[in-house]
Structure 1
Amino acid sequence: MAGNSFGKAFKITTFGESHGKAIGVIIDGCPPNVEVDLEFIQQELDKRKPGQSKITTQRKESDTCSILSGIFEGKTTGTPIMLLIPNEDQRSKDYSHIQDKYRPSHADYTYQVKYGIRDYRGGGRSSARETAARVAAGALAKLFLKQYNIEIFSHVSAVGKIQAPNLSSNNIKELLAIREENIVRCADPATAKEMENFIGVIKKEGDTVGGKIATVIQNVPVGLGEPVFDKLHADLGKAMLSINAVHGFEYGSGFEGSSMRGSEHNDIFINPEHSNKALKTLTNFSGGIQGGISNGMDINFNVAFKPVATIMRAQNTIDQEGNDVEITGKGRHDPCVVPRAVIIVEAMAALVIADHLLRNKAYQ
């Protein structure tokens, strides 16, 4: 199966299935002498792992990560790094009722037609369980970016029609503290409580709901991004759209910019405070990227997630023989995926920036 690798200079390849023995990732291209903080990597994984709150799937996975290669005396060696995460709480019997049925809006039908075989246990390779490997790799990318003071922050900005106000603070550490004080991972406490209550209602109804995640990346140097097809925003878009359940990506002014005039939308350059600093702009409708290349302003984007496809209600569908059948979701599933997806979005953003930072060094 192709399509299991991401990145060019900082390249990852993930492996494993939802109900296999383990999942993991091989990282190739990470520079040597990056200090590896195992506790930080585990903390990142804990933010994504299942069973962490009443509004997430109750599958119990510790997501304990082991490093099998590429690390010596607490630092990367420049050789391939392998991270392994065992699966501990598989309940394959929960999926026996759908082994010959196609679940609506899942990958069952497309995988069956493409490969002639599919792992119906939790979706196999198409399961969001795979994203734990991305988070582990993204944590290592963040440790690399730390050397350049590059910071990434994501939070749940919308659940259904509940929208959080735009963030006013530029202090990412402050926003992180607020975000981690609630189980929705929204940096506005009042909105977070409203979101939590709404997700609870949706769960009781046996239904699911989608949402949005907003992200800001700070201290990105000018010059990241490759013309013409490897533009920075294009790679960020691909990274985000590769995440399970993502249906939309916009950066800067996004779709709102299509209704503006050029005189309103243009970001006017101003002199920097100091001569050795990069130019700044009065506005940032470009989202920190112009011509596909970072311009030194904050990079910001939004990611839209669809409702989780597995619902605890009866639905009509078709089996592999083409017969009309009824199907009802069983097992342990998230009523809303965005609280756990926050750290996945950050991880994929870190991987993109790390990759482009290393590719840019060729020109320095």
Structure 2
Amino acid sequence: MAGNIFGKLFRVTTFGESHGHALGGIIDGCPSGLKLNFEEINNELNRRKPGQSSIVTQRKESDEVIFLSGIFDGFTTGTPIGFIIKNKDHNSKDYFNIKNIYRPSHSDFTYYKKYVIRDYRGGGRSSARETVSRVVAGAIAKQLLKIYNILIKAYVSSIGGLNLSENYNKLDFSKIENTPVRCPDIQLAEKMIKYINKFRKKGDTIGGIITCIIKNVPIGIGEPVFDKLHAELGKAMLSINAVKGFEYGSGFYGTKIKGSNHIDKYKNNGSTKTNFSGGIQGGISNGMDIYLKVAFKAVATIKKKSINFNKKKIFVKGRHDPCVLPRAVPIIEAMSALVLYDYIHMYKILLF
């Protein structure tokens, strides 16, 4: 199976399945001399892990990372960083009834046709549990980006028909973690929680949108043509399970206004009066805030009876998220960090 490596110089390779012994990864290209904050790494994992509230899957995993290499006395050595996260609470028997069945809108059919064998336990390699390895690598990338004071903050801005219309500049990011749904508008967050619970009780699911803001990005990150910064960010986000759409800057809204109103006029200091460009022009960062949105579908694993590929009625057991967005917030931040630090590493900006 190809496609398990992300990045060019700062690269992460992930491995493992949802119900295997462990998941893990290898981070290559991390510079030596970085004093790791293990508490911050664990905090990122805690934000992603299952069982953290009533509106996510009740699978109980501590998601404790075990580092195997590349770290000595708390400092990175410059050699590959190997790590694993053991699976402890996987109930494989819940999936025996779909051993020979293709669940609708899942990867079951395509995986089997491509590889002639599939791990039906929780989706195997196609499970979103794979993203736990991305969060570990992203947490380290975040610590490297702190040297530049680059701040990455993501939050849930939409669940179904409930939308946060407030401009991100007016939001208090410190409130993002105050609710299990990770929306900084507390009143809207309470409505979102009730909305998700309504679908959970019915055995159904609901989707939404996560907004991500990246501040203090140096001018000049990204390359023209094929390696545009927004193209890499788009690839990163679209590689996440259940993601159906990506936009940055004015996005699709930019199609509804005329060019004379969409132009970001310059100030005397080189910054712009507006930021419809979303901090990226010609594929290169211009020093303004980068902001993007990622759309997640209502996931296909529902507890209602559904019709499979062979027109048989099936009932999917197991523990699943009625809405994946709350747990996806740290994944969005992690992938953003991996993209940005890989570019910075390529330009050899970082000096120890």
Which category of TM-score, normalised to the shorter sequence, fits these structures? over 0.9
Counterpart residue number, 2:202? 205
Tell me the distance in 2 between the aligned counterparts of 1:303 and 1:261: 24
- Map 1:150-165 onto structure 2 (within 5 A): 150-165=150-165
Pair 1:251-2:242 in alignment: no
Counterpart residue number, 1:40? 40
Counterpart residue number, 2:339? 352
Counterpart residue number, 1:311? 302
TM-superposed deviation, 1:316: 1.1
Tell me the distance in 1 between the aligned counterparts of 2:170 and 2:4: 35
Tell me the distance in 2 between the aligned counterparts of 1:50 and 1:195: 19
Tell me the distance in 2 between the aligned counterparts of 1:332 and 1:168: 34
SS at match of 2:308: strand
Q: Tell me the amino acid that sits aligned with residue 238 of structure 1.
A: K
SS at match of 1:123: helix
CA deviation vs aligned residue, 1:272-302 (integer Å, no higher than 9, x gap): 2xxxxxx200000000000000000000000
CA deviation vs aligned residue, 1:298-324 (integer Å, no higher than 9, x gap): 000000000011111111112xxxx43
Q: Tell me the amino acid that sits aligned with residue 358 of structure 1.
A: H
TM-superposed deviation, 1:73: 1.8
Note if contact 1:165-1:188 (Cα within 8 Å) is conserved in structure 2. no
CA deviation vs aligned residue, 1:97-125 (integer Å, no higher than 9, x gap): 11111111100000000100100000000
TM-superposed deviation, 1:168: 4.7
Tell me the distance in 2 between the aligned counterparts of 1:168 and 1:133: 29
Tell me the distance in 2 between the aligned counterparts of 1:75 and 1:299: 30
CA deviation vs aligned residue, 1:193-212 (integer Å, no higher than 9, x gap): 00000001011111000010
Tell me the distance in 2 between the aligned counterparts of 1:212 and 1:134: 20
- The alignment covers a number of residue pairs equal to 351
Tell me the distance in 1 between the aligned counterparts of 2:317 and 2:182: 26
Structure 2 gap ranges (5+): none
Tell me the distance in 2 between the aligned counterparts of 1:103 and 1:156: 28
Counterpart residue number, 2:278? 287
CA deviation vs aligned residue, 1:40-64 (integer Å, no higher than 9, x gap): 1001000000000000100000000
CA deviation vs aligned residue, 1:22-79 (integer Å, no higher than 9, x gap): 0011000111111201111001000000000000100000000111111112111111
282, 291, 310: which one pairs with 1:300?
Answer: 291
Counterpart residue number, 1:131? 131
Pair 1:56-2:56 in alignment: yes
Pair 1:267-2:256 in alignment: no
Tell me the distance in 2 between the aligned counterparts of 1:222 and 1:78: 27
CA deviation vs aligned residue, 1:326-358 (integer Å, no higher than 9, x gap): 111211000000000000000000000000111
- Map 1:1-364 onto structure 2 (within 5 A): 1-169=1-169, 174-175=172-173, 177-272=174-269, 279-318=270-309, 323-361=310-348
Structure 1 gap ranges (5+): 273-278
TM norm structure 2:
0.97
Q: Tell me the amino acid that sits aligned with residue 149 of structure 1.
A: N
Note if contact 1:223-1:360 (Cα within 8 Å) is conserved in structure 2. no
SS at match of 1:213: strand
Tell me the distance in 1 between the aligned counterparts of 2:212 and 2:311: 43
CA deviation vs aligned residue, 1:225-248 (integer Å, no higher than 9, x gap): 012111000000000000000000
TM-superposed deviation, 1:165: 2.5
Tell me the distance in 1 between the aligned counterparts of 2:258 and 2:347: 33
SS at match of 1:297: coil
Tell me the distance in 2 between the aligned counterparts of 1:83 and 1:286: 38
Tell me the distance in 1 between the aligned counterparts of 2:108 and 2:188: 36
Tell me the distance in 2 between the aligned counterparts of 1:56 and 1:231: 35
Tell me the distance in 2 between the aligned counterparts of 1:6 and 1:168: 29
CA RMSD of aligned residues (A): 1.4
Tell me the distance in 2 between the aligned counterparts of 1:241 and 1:81: 25
Q: Tell me the amino acid that sits aligned with residue 191 of structure 2.
A: E
Between the two proteins, what is the percent identity of the paired residues? 59
TM norm structure 1:
0.94
TM-superposed deviation, 1:170: 6.5
Where has structure 1 moved over 3 Å in runs of 4 or more? 167-171
